[in-house]
Structure 1
Amino acid sequence: MKVLVTGAAGFIGGQLWHALWKRGDEVVGIDNFSYGNLDNLKFEDHDFGPEVRRMDIRDREAIPALFEAEKFDVVYNIAGIAPLPDCQSDPVQAVEVNTLGLVHLLECARRTGVKQVVQASTNAMYENETEFPTVETSFHTPTLIYPNTKYCGERFCQSFADTYGMTVTCLRFANVYGPHIDCLRKQPPFVGYMIRELYYGRTPEFHSDGNQRRDYIYVDDLIALALRVVERPQPGFDAVNVSSNQSYSVRELYATACRLMGKDIEAKYCPTSHYWAKYPELYGGAYGIKPEILDHEVNKFSLCDNAHAREAYGWVPQVDIETGLARVIEEECKMLAARDNA
């Protein structure tokens, strides 16, 4: 099977490419490296760095030419701007990449007969829900830029599926963690940031009181479902929660990480405004971001029902939170040590 992976040099894209390669698929990986890193393409059994193609999914000439030349069977669109504050501070670019870039891929897939498009979506679309666990079929529209780019993207996915008879599957990721998680960017994912600060013996700064709870999914489990939806395709449009169906608080995860790393460092808990303190542009201009929006984003609860994934695709997550954290700690500490010694 010939497969295209966009965002191939990202945390999830690299892991997906590796899994497809091990399965024997012929994979083309592309990335514009706005967030990607060649380190995400290095595995013990293969280095995909020399093979990745530097391309942008918005390129109106190169992307159609690629589709025409390669005749892909499946397209995984993992490319996108994921950090929520980045999307909020530059909404035009967020829409261009996360929504219009997706539409461009859908149109290329339509024209060249791609059998299935799998879109990386997000459980952030459930940000305004009050009943849990959240299900795929019923939820309120989101508020912030990032989840709206994904929500609108899903509507276009459904449009292409309904209009042209295409098979388009949207995977709504919970908070993903695992080896290769990006711990060095401006606003790292919580798990990566926590481990990085503990590794260097620094006091991590968290937001609110640390009792807020989120749903986490280990990257290997996510990849397993990404493969399964292609092995058992559901014709037309489908949206699938990729979640553990369990939630954990910041304090619980931090206590586990401290125990696993042998650290005894008390975390600092900051006001919710600290979440976007590195993005002063959100507070300037005629209209600044509302404090209640900040509070809601930092303190929101997330818990997704994964019954649809179990029933339709026979998928059950395998990695518990402690096992997953131990693996991430081992790999991230190796990476940080190698970086410091370089």
Structure 2
Amino acid sequence: MNDKKILITGGLGFIGSYIADELIDENEVLIIDNKSTGKVENLQNINHENLTLIEKDLNDADLDDILTDVDYVFHLAAMASVPLSIENPSECIENNMDATIKLINACKNNNVKKIIFSSSSSVYGDNTNIPLKESEYPLPKSPYAASKASGELFLKTYYEAYGLNYISLRYFNVFGPKQDKNSQYAAVIPNFITALLEGEQPIIYGDGEQTRDFIYIRDVVNANIKAAESDYNGIINVASGKKTTINELYKIISETLGSDIEPKYLPERKGDIKHSLADVNNMKKIDYKVNLNDFENQLKETINWFKTKL
């Protein structure tokens, strides 16, 4: 992607900052972020000549002004926390639903070529039809998951009614360097690494036999860009298509770090799902495929980054 004007909402966050760094040398990049969780230091070059940073909340911003001549929008700004959405559903509705609908409408009014929406595998809930296909009916168990399902539905509606091109990317468990251990994007990985590096006992909620489908941050970035460049409109799972139990994950990380600390098991958290595995066949529609042989090396790269920070 070259010579485009791009808006990234939540561009100071974990995923958004990677997308910005990837695109900024060849494109004009605008970031809007209220800095509630995002950090300027996530960007490689905050002073890049192609970067404009707008420190505002989407609900307070003049989006018609910001979106003037914008080609593509990557929408990542959100309350990205299942537990927090359960504790404060009103804030989740304001940040995830109201702001998203406002942005979608502004994209329509300003003839944006395409909006790439960061959705979540949480929309599937406890659906047992594994591997999970995009055609499955949403079964959200939290306000966060419901807000993502709502965003997908509004985008589909605006595509059908107004021709606004879109793709909703359902991220499974994203991980990688720069990840905040307090993030809800596969927070189990940075939490395990941080605890072991600090000589503490990591926590596993439930029996550890719950499964997750982990996806590396650079694959997520590449999928976002491929989605923008493709002609496809609809929903795409962004995942590896490979399941890993939390106990297996802990074993890999502890062995990599040479730690013999045993994890502490606590009761399951409200809103958490038991099993998660994606059907990734639809990723062909954006011409992307994950290399399944890289998982342990990707974990090592993530561990090494945390070592330099702790």
Instruction: Normalising by structure 1, report the TM-score.
Output: 0.85
Amino acid at match of 2:160: D
Q: What root-mean-square deviation, in Å, do the aligned CA atoms of Structure 1 and Structure 2 show?
A: 1.8
Match of 1:31 in 2: 33
Residues 48 and 216 of structure 1, relative CA distance in 2, 3 Å threshold: farther
| 8 Å contact kept, 1:208–1:299 | no
For 2:272 and 2:102, locate their aligned partners in 1 and report how far apart those are by CA, in whole Å: 33
Match of 2:53 in 1: 52
Match of 2:237 in 1: 241
Match of 1:325 in 2: 299
Of 138, 141, 144, which residue of structure 2 is paired with 1:143? 141
Q: What is the deviation of 1:259?
A: 1.3
Residues 143 and 271 of structure 1, relative CA distance in 2, 3 Å threshold: closer
Residues 226 and 299 of structure 1, relative CA distance in 2, 3 Å threshold: closer
| 8 Å contact kept, 1:128–1:140 | no
Q: What is the deviation of 1:188?
A: 7.8
Amino acid at match of 2:309: M
Q: What is the deviation of 1:318?
A: 2.6
Stretches of structure 2 lacking an aligned partner (at least 5 in a row): none
Match of 1:110 in 2: 108
For 2:99 and 2:46, locate their aligned partners in 1 and report how far apart those are by CA, in whole Å: 27
Match of 1:16 in 2: 19
Residues 185 and 123 of structure 1, relative CA distance in 2, 3 Å threshold: closer
1:120 aligned counterpart, secondary structure: strand
Deviates most, 312-321 or 131-140: 312-321
Of 119, 140, 163, which residue of structure 1 is paired with 2:161? 163
- Cα offsets for 1:51-89 (capped at 9, x unmatched): 532011112x53222123xx1000000100111111111
Match of 2:75 in 1: 77
Amino acid at match of 1:333: K
Residues 333 and 51 of structure 1, relative CA distance in 2, 3 Å threshold: farther
For 2:240 and 2:101, locate their aligned partners in 1 and report how far apart those are by CA, in whole Å: 29
Amino acid at match of 1:314: D
- Cα offsets for 1:97-117 (capped at 9, x unmatched): 111111111111111110000
2:213 aligned counterpart, secondary structure: strand
Stretches of structure 1 lacking an aligned partner (at least 5 in a row): 276-293, 337-342
| 8 Å contact kept, 2:78–2:96 | yes
Of 302, 323, 336, which residue of structure 1 is paired with 2:276? 302
Structure with the bigger percentage of helix: 1
Match of 1:260 in 2: 256
* Equivalences, count: 304
Residues 48 and 124 of structure 1, relative CA distance in 2, 3 Å threshold: farther
Match of 1:282 in 2: none
Deviates most, 50-59 or 203-212: 50-59
For 1:180 and 1:53, locate their aligned partners in 2 and report how far apart those are by CA, in whole Å: 21
For 1:75 and 1:124, locate their aligned partners in 2 and report how far apart those are by CA, in whole Å: 22
Give 1:206-245 correspondences, 5 Å limit.
206-234=204-232, 237-245=233-241
| 8 Å contact kept, 1:213–1:247 | yes
| 8 Å contact kept, 2:169–2:235 | yes
Amino acid at match of 1:26: E
For 1:87 and 1:122, locate their aligned partners in 2 and report how far apart those are by CA, in whole Å: 14
2:67 aligned counterpart, secondary structure: helix
| 8 Å contact kept, 1:121–1:173 | yes
For 1:150 and 1:185, locate their aligned partners in 2 and report how far apart those are by CA, in whole Å: 17
Residues 111 and 51 of structure 1, relative CA distance in 2, 3 Å threshold: closer
For 1:161 and 1:187, locate their aligned partners in 2 and report how far apart those are by CA, in whole Å: 28
- Cα offsets for 1:102-152 (capped at 9, x unmatched): 111111111111000010000111113111101011224323211100001
Residues 316 and 186 of structure 1, relative CA distance in 2, 3 Å threshold: closer
Match of 2:151 in 1: 153
Residues 90 and 184 of structure 1, relative CA distance in 2, 3 Å threshold: closer
Instruction: Normalising by structure 2, report the TM-score.
Output: 0.93
Residues 17 and 323 of structure 1, relative CA distance in 2, 3 Å threshold: same
Q: What is the deviation of 1:256?
A: 0.6
2:24 aligned counterpart, secondary structure: helix
Q: What is the deviation of 1:184?
A: 4.4
For 1:105 and 1:203, locate their aligned partners in 2 and report how far apart those are by CA, in whole Å: 42
